[in-house]
A and B are shown apart, each in its own frame.
Chain A
Amino acid sequence: MNTREYIESGVLELYIFGKLSESENEEVQVYANEYPEIKQEIESIEKAIINLSYSVAPNLSLDNFNTIRKALLERESGVVTLKPKSNWPAYMGWAASFLLLLGAGFLYFQMNQNDTLLKDSREKNQDLQKSVVTLEEQNKNNETLLNLFKDENNKVVALAGQTVAPEAKAKIYWNQNDHSVYVDAAGLPEPPKGYVYQVWSLKMDPLTPTSIGLLEKTEIGKSRIFKVDNTMDAEGFGITLEPAGGSAAPTLEQLYTLGKV
């Protein structure tokens, strides 16, 4: 451990200022016990701060010492003399039990309230945890997407709109190393109910389509980018609209987009 560096970091000043957490305090403690120069430094900083705080105080009033001494020591001694003023202990008994009842009621009420508070903060805590998890997931998705866009091994194939949907378009990211395929479907219209888009890898001569998956469950976050099955040797890609569950062979009248590698 480089004690010089540790001292220069300024953490010991924060330690004296009372700005560290318990675990950070403990860490400083451990180092102080191990390294005399750290202990020495702590004591010097403390000395400076004690001088500083002392110097900015106005004079305390003369009776301050006594006021505080009384507040502490006479409270501590706890000697309280009780003189019975009434000879009706029975009334006292009744009064006491009434107060007890009242007190119990109040405590019960408080307990309930505390319960509610506790429950509220638990719920809040849970919500926060949930949003942390959500953010982490989003972050992971974004990283996946970023890698997708950055990776130079990805061949990008643009799929152009066909007769049924001239405006439609899509993009294929095909990794030449691990052969994974991602489909950017942001340019496809929302599929009608009961239908789903199916992605095909194509061999051109003779034209042989092989299904590499449906665009439904493998979306990355809400990016409209889907992961589909790997393919080794596609020469083109096509996307058709098929009845839910997909088809064994593409319905060519419903060919939405098509592109060559």
Chain B
Amino acid sequence: MTQEELLAQIYKKDNKAFTLLYDMYAKNLYGIIYNLLKDREEAEDVLQETFVKIWKNLDTYNESKGRFFTWLLNIARNSAIDRLRSKNFNNNQKNLSSDNFVHILDDTTRTMNKIDTIGIQEFVKKLKPKCIQLIDLLFFKGYTQQEVSETLEIPLGTVKTQNRNCINELRNLLRV
């Protein structure tokens, strides 16, 4: 299904549209949110909040906001960052042992049952540590290039190309 066909279905905003949207993206968005919050209950709550926002603002999506997936991802990431910043959440936060998405893999593999997911996880773990950090900050944590450059102490001008090399590595592993 192309993005256009998918959107035509989803814009109907009926039961079927929701099922489609949920099936296609809920888990991805949950992955992004969970990676920031590290708390399943909170992350499910933010996922719901995210879907409410998506549903309410569906009509405002257009191409200038990027790919549809990117638009969804921005809403999810921003909602999770907002939750992270709320005082309420900081006080409740207990186990912050896993600090990037690969640590989460180790935490979650035990409860995973889908074989293809485990397959991807094995690939992801093969990424260079530098790439894991870079993708974690830039994609999952929503850092700016500037912030990434400062945190990882790499020249600002190379963030973009280093990130591309890392994504290429991932694509080679996944063969996409």
Contact = CB atoms under 8 A, between A and B. Distances in A.
A and B bind: yes
Interface of A: 8-11, 13-20, 22, 25-26, 28-29, 42, 44-61, 64-65, 67-69, 71-73, 75-76
Contacts of B101: 52, 56
Interface residues of B, number: 62
A64 B167 CA distance: 31
8 tightest A-B contacts by CB?
A57-B31, A10-B164, A10-B160, A55-B120, A53-B28, A18-B74, A53-B31, A56-B101
B70 A55 contact: no
Contact of B34 (A8, A26, A58, A73): A58
Contacts of A28: 66
Please indicate which of the listed interface residues B31, B65, B66 has the most CB atoms of chain A within 10 Å of its own CB.
Answer: B66
B84 interface: no
A69 B22 contact: yes
B73 to A, nearest CB: 6
Contacts of B81: none
Given A65-B26, A69-B19, 15 more contacts: A10-B162, A14-B138, A16-B70, A19-B144, A19-B145, A29-B64, A53-B28, A54-B27, A54-B28, A57-B28, A59-B108, A59-B112, A61-B44, A64-B44, A65-B22
Contacts, number: 163
Contacts of A56: 31, 34-35, 101, 104-105, 108, 121, 124, 140
10 contacts: A15-B70, A16-B70, A48-B170, A52-B101, A52-B139, A54-B27, A55-B121, A60-B26, A67-B44, A71-B51
A25 B66 contact: yes
Please indicate which of the listed interface residues A13, A19, A45, A56 has the most CB atoms of chain B within 10 Å of its own CB.
Answer: A56
A84 B67 CA distance: 49
Interface string B117-136: 10011001000000000010
Nearest to A11: B160
B129 to A, nearest CB: 16
B91 interface: no
A18 B44 CA distance: 22
B69 interface: yes
By secondary structure, the B interface counts as: helix
B30 A57 contact: yes
B48 A68 contact: yes
Interface of B: 13-15, 18-19, 22, 26-32, 34-35, 40, 44, 47-48, 51-52, 55, 63-67, 69-71, 73-74, 77, 101, 104-105, 107-108, 111-113, 117, 120-121, 124, 135, 138-140, 142, 144-145, 160-164, 167, 170-171, 174, 176
Nearest to A47: B176
B66 A64 contact: no
A68 B111 contact: no
A10 B156 CA distance: 13
Nearest to A29: B63
Please indicate which of the listed interface residues A18, A44, A50, A68 has the most CB atoms of chain B within 10 Å of its own CB.
Answer: A18
A12 B119 CA distance: 26
A37 B10 CA distance: 28
A53 B48 contact: no
B82 to A, nearest CB: 15
Nearest to B101: A56
Contact of B176 (A8, A48, A59): A48
B138 A19 contact: yes
A234 to B, nearest CB: 50
A42 B19 CA distance: 26
Contact of A58 (B28, B40, B65, B74): B40
B161 A58 contact: no
Contacts of A61: 40, 44
Given A13-B163, A52-B170, A60 B18 contact: no
